[in-house]
A and B are shown apart, each in its own frame.
Chain A
Amino acid sequence: MGLSRKDLLGIQELSVEEIQLILDTAEPMRDIIRRQIKKVPTLRGKALINLFYEPSTRTRTSFELAGKYMSADTINISTSTSSAVKGETLKDTAKTLEVMGADIVIIRHGAAGAPHILSKHLSASVINAGDGFHEHPTQALLDMYTIRERKGQISGLKVAIVGDILHSRVARSNIWGLTKMGAEVCVIGPSTLLPPGIAELGVTPFTSLEEGLPGADVIIVLRVQLERQQKGLFPTIREYARLFGVTAERVGMAKPDVLIMHPGPMNRGVEIAPEVADSVHSVINEQVTNGVAVRMALLYLLAGGGGPHEAIG
């Protein structure tokens, strides 16, 4: 059985079975990445477009490699300005891509809901690679894959997400995914960066690491953006680092075999201490590798491929 949906717009709408299918399908994909010749013909003749309205290195590269390893023709469209500023509407861009014959469009956009507009106007599959503060579903999938691989399962684990929850699409997608998979999730950050109604998503909010970290099996550290400080959401980067920086000492409050994760790019010495990022607990590099495998699995499934057993070409 494959995925019976055209698009992946968010983790919120995925079932547990769909998440499991994607993670299971990523296993053989990771074997492909480890091969000498990283190329299978699975997506030959398919056109894959990376439509990025926000700067991104790792997500765009990850999708591009995932497509190329599977023999798709991949094209990148990067624009620093939004479609609205550029003068062409997203709807018109969607129609243009449609008539060019795109099979899968991967979109990153600063405005929440932009992938939904594409989805409405495209018969091609749309993958959300991050929209505003809304969702970043493939990041959550690769995080879940990494946790499952290291811990054997997700159910029953205690996961702490630390940082700017308010502006984080990574946090939202992970909250949906991890709670669906049976993890106990808490979010930790300054009260000005915790969104209203967050507890209604089934997570426990904390405003100190000392309260939230004890007993954690996984710590997901989020990037803190300098512009948030400029908007007055916290006084200084220095105070943020002192109160919410994940240091070796604080990692000591979690379980001894805790995993440290970060979606990147990191501000070393701000949200995460360098020795933590490079410690034995850190699986930050594995996350990147797994990202390619998970995206290969997703491309394969959305292109109509079956389950994990059929996935290796």
Chain B
Amino acid sequence: MKLLVRGGKVIDPANDFCQAADILIDSGKISAVGQNLKANGAEVIDAKNKLVLPGLIDMHVHLREPGLEAKETIASGTRAAARGGFTSVACMPNTNPVVDNQALVEFINSRAASDGVVNVFPIGAITKGSAGSELAEIGDMKSAGAVAISDDGRPVMNAQVMRLAMEYAKMFNLPVISHCEDIDLAANGVMHEGYFSTVFGLKGISRLAEEVMVARDIMLAELTGTKVHIAHISTAGSVELVRMAKKKGLNVTAEATPHHFTLTAEAVGGYDTGTKVNPPLRGADDIRAVKEGLGDGTIDVIATDHAPHTVEEKDVEYNYAPFGIVGLETAVGLAFKELVNPGLLTVEELVRKMSVNPARILGLPKGHLGVGADADITIVDPGLREVVDVQRFASKGKNSPFGGWELKGLPTVVIVGGRVVMQDRELV
């Protein structure tokens, strides 16, 4: 099976190659990159006026399987990924049961092989049941294919447990992804603490709830030398802490989500539970700092924290709704809207944050378009406009605050391992 992606602008920063070129794909690998390649019977994909990118990688999604299939499955979640322009996702272990052993990592791999339309890389739990007390079988999970460990959604409050986890994970060269939240400081808050929480009468979550844990985990990263990745960074203070850590040369990376660089706490007005997310939507200063951090390289990765929930779970009082926003199908459009179109990031820089860097952090042989690489390709039409319609999401989750927004710059074709899984915005 051969494919020829013809006439697009290839953006391959890992190989320092950004120019108009054709890409020939054979047997799931890239076999040639160059000008005027001959089709020789290959199926031709016209990429004229489009950007041809190494397949995008979302290193922070919740696929909800096993156990929470009403919210999402590996089948529906990977379709949402494909529709959003992603060829790979790394899925968080806070399923039911929690992915804290080899058998569950293997289950995800086998379910991804049978049901998935994009590559799925499991992330294992740090502690058994993500309860925060005893280390999970991290070595076993690594053998089964886990690419990182994280107790996302249930932060490891005990600093000694986190220290041991980092020391232990280092043996396997596994990154530790930290959901930074001090549960006591968060104090059952439901939105960002400040003027708007006071006006809306909702319990606030202070910036400090995140920042003290970012500071702690950076100090632990310094002590242990382990690769530490700070998930969904949301405050100006956290950005500054990561910047300082990098200046010191520590092995610390960070990600930001599209919702955190797009919306402020003001969006909670009207009590739309589609805006309820953890960490919460912050202030205008925080957005500015997150964008600055993306611009100067402090923040390495854009990840969605795709967190689907059922309509029934979300369509309740703000206090009772679960935290989470679905992000896979709006990420590229929001990144163009907020970062590329206003000139904060070039397309090359965006590709680093959505493909090159996540591949590097997770140790995946992906994120570039060199000859011999896996044929994971995302084609983006930078001029394409579309109004977000949550009912058209491939995800089971419709919990997005971006319904009705017009976005410009959207993925049109997604190729995974040489197979076209999305074409003209429709799943194949």
Stretch from A20-28, A44-52, A111-119, A250-258 contacting the other chain: A111-119
- A37 contacts across to B, CB distance below 8 A: none
Q: Across the interface, do A111 and B318 meet the contact criterion of CB distance under 8 Å?
A: yes
Q: Across the interface, do B199 and A172 meet the contact criterion of CB distance under 8 Å?
A: yes
**B:255-274 near A, CB below 8 Å:** 270-271
Knowing A116-B270, A196-B194, A197-B194 touch, does A132 contact B199 (C-beta < 8 A)? no
How far is A84 from B204 in the complex, measured between Cα atoms in Å?
A: 21
How far is A91 from B321 in the complex, measured between Cα atoms in Å?
A: 13
The minimal Cβ–Cβ distance linking A145 to chain B, given in whole angstroms, is 23
Q: Across the interface, do B200 and A113 meet the contact criterion of CB distance under 8 Å?
A: yes
Q: Across the interface, do A133 and B199 meet the contact criterion of CB distance under 8 Å?
A: no
Tell me if A19 counts as interface (CB < 8 A to partner B). no
Q: Which of B199, B203, B270, B271 contacts A12 (CB 8 A)?
A: B199
Knowing A91-B315, A111-B320, A114-B317 touch, does A196 contact B201 (C-beta < 8 A)? no
Binary interface encoding of chain A residues 96-111 relative to chain B, with 1 for a CB under 8 A from any of its CBs, else 0: 0000000000000111
Q: Across the interface, do B319 and A132 meet the contact criterion of CB distance under 8 Å?
A: yes
Q: Across the interface, do B202 and A133 meet the contact criterion of CB distance under 8 Å?
A: yes
- B320 contacts across to A, CB distance below 8 A: 82, 84, 111
- A110 contacts across to B, CB distance below 8 A: 319
Tell me if A158 counts as interface (CB < 8 A to partner B). no
Residue of B nearest to A132 (CB): B201
Tell me if B371 counts as interface (CB < 8 A to partner A). no
- A196 contacts across to B, CB distance below 8 A: 193-195, 197-198, 204
The minimal Cβ–Cβ distance linking B237 to chain A, given in whole angstroms, is 15
Q: Across the interface, do B315 and A89 meet the contact criterion of CB distance under 8 Å?
A: yes
Knowing A117-B271, A196-B193, A196-B204 touch, does A201 contact B198 (C-beta < 8 A)? yes
A-B contact count (CB 8 A): 73
How far is A195 from B192 in the complex, measured between Cα atoms in Å?
A: 13
Residue of B nearest to A111 (CB): B317
The minimal Cβ–Cβ distance linking A6 to chain B, given in whole angstroms, is 15
How far is A131 from B202 in the complex, measured between Cα atoms in Å?
A: 10
How far is A200 from B265 in the complex, measured between Cα atoms in Å?
A: 15
**B:195-232 near A, CB below 8 Å:** 195-204
Residue of B nearest to A167 (CB): B201
Q: Across the interface, do A131 and B201 meet the contact criterion of CB distance under 8 Å?
A: yes
Q: Which of B193, B194, B201, B270 contacts A135 (CB 8 A)?
A: B201
The minimal Cβ–Cβ distance linking B209 to chain A, given in whole angstroms, is 13
Q: Looking at B198, B202, B316, which has the most chain A CB atoms within 10 Å of its CB?
A: B198
Q: Across the interface, do A197 and B198 meet the contact criterion of CB distance under 8 Å?
A: yes
Q: Across the interface, do B316 and A84 meet the contact criterion of CB distance under 8 Å?
A: yes
Q: Across the interface, do B198 and A113 meet the contact criterion of CB distance under 8 Å?
A: no
How far is A87 from B208 in the complex, measured between Cα atoms in Å?
A: 35
How far is A172 from B202 in the complex, measured between Cα atoms in Å?
A: 12
Tell me if B16 counts as interface (CB < 8 A to partner A). no
How far is A117 from B273 in the complex, measured between Cα atoms in Å?
A: 11
How far is A120 from B271 in the complex, measured between Cα atoms in Å?
A: 11
**A:239-254 near B, CB below 8 Å:** none
How far is A195 from B198 in the complex, measured between Cα atoms in Å?
A: 6
Tell me if A60 counts as interface (CB < 8 A to partner B). no
Q: Across the interface, do A112 and B318 meet the contact criterion of CB distance under 8 Å?
A: yes
Tell me if A134 counts as interface (CB < 8 A to partner B). yes
How far is A172 from B320 in the complex, measured between Cα atoms in Å?
A: 22
- A135 contacts across to B, CB distance below 8 A: 201
Q: Across the interface, do A109 and B201 meet the contact criterion of CB distance under 8 Å?
A: no
How far is A196 from B208 in the complex, measured between Cα atoms in Å?
A: 14
- A172 contacts across to B, CB distance below 8 A: 198-199, 201
The minimal Cβ–Cβ distance linking A173 to chain B, given in whole angstroms, is 10
- A200 contacts across to B, CB distance below 8 A: 195
Knowing A90-B316, A117-B271 touch, does A201 contact B200 (C-beta < 8 A)? no
How far is A198 from B204 in the complex, measured between Cα atoms in Å?
A: 13
How far is A306 from B350 in the complex, measured between Cα atoms in Å?
A: 59
Q: Across the interface, do B316 and A132 meet the contact criterion of CB distance under 8 Å?
A: no
**B:158-211 near A, CB below 8 Å:** 193-204
Tell me if A262 counts as interface (CB < 8 A to partner B). no
Give B residues with C-beta under 8 Å from A: 193-204, 270-271, 312, 315-320
16 CB < 8 A contacts A-B: A84-B320, A89-B316, A90-B316, A90-B317, A91-B316, A109-B317, A112-B201, A112-B271, A114-B317, A133-B201, A133-B203, A172-B198, A196-B194, A196-B198, A197-B197, A201-B195
Q: Using A90-B317, A117-B317 as known contacts, list a sample of 18 further A-B pairs with CB atoms less than 8 Å apart, ordered by residue number in A.
A: A84-B317, A111-B320, A112-B200, A112-B202, A112-B318, A113-B202, A113-B271, A114-B317, A132-B202, A134-B201, A134-B202, A135-B201, A169-B201, A196-B194, A197-B194, A197-B196, A198-B198, A201-B195
